[in-house]
């Protein structure tokens, strides 16, 4: 499931995910969320809170930034 910047600012999203997992009788480890760096950057603190709450619940999270587009990669290329 892709998570947008708008999703990261929704303080009800973690509870909604938990409800959906329960409704569909899925365990949290069956869900993987993709978060792009651009989704995190507008509000790093909100993203951190979301990711910590999500981590406590159990779903996996992975980066969805296309190769060569992250600011870390760009910084490394400029050196």
Domain locations in the chain? Answer: 2-78
pTM, two decimals, is 0.66
* Measured CA distances, 47 to 8, 9, 66 (Å): 6, 7, 19
Residues of the chain with pLDDT under 50: 70-79
pLDDT of residue 25: 93
Which helix (H) or strand (E) element contains residue 79?
Answer: none
pLDDT of residue 24: 93
Enter the tokens of residue 71. Answer: 């600011």
pLDDT of residue 68: 57
- What is the C-alpha separation between 60 and 57, in angstroms, rounded? 10
């Amino acid at each position: 499931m892709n998570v947008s910047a708008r999703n990261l600012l929704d303080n009800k999203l973690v509870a909604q995910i938990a409800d959906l997992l329960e409704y569909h009788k899925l365990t949290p480890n069956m869900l993987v969320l993709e978060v792009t760096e651009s989704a995190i950057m507008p509000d790093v603190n909100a993203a951190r809170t979301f990711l910590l709450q999500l981590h406590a619940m159990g779903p996996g999270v992975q980066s969805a930034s296309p190769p060569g587009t992250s600011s870390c990669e760009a910084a490394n290329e400029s050196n």
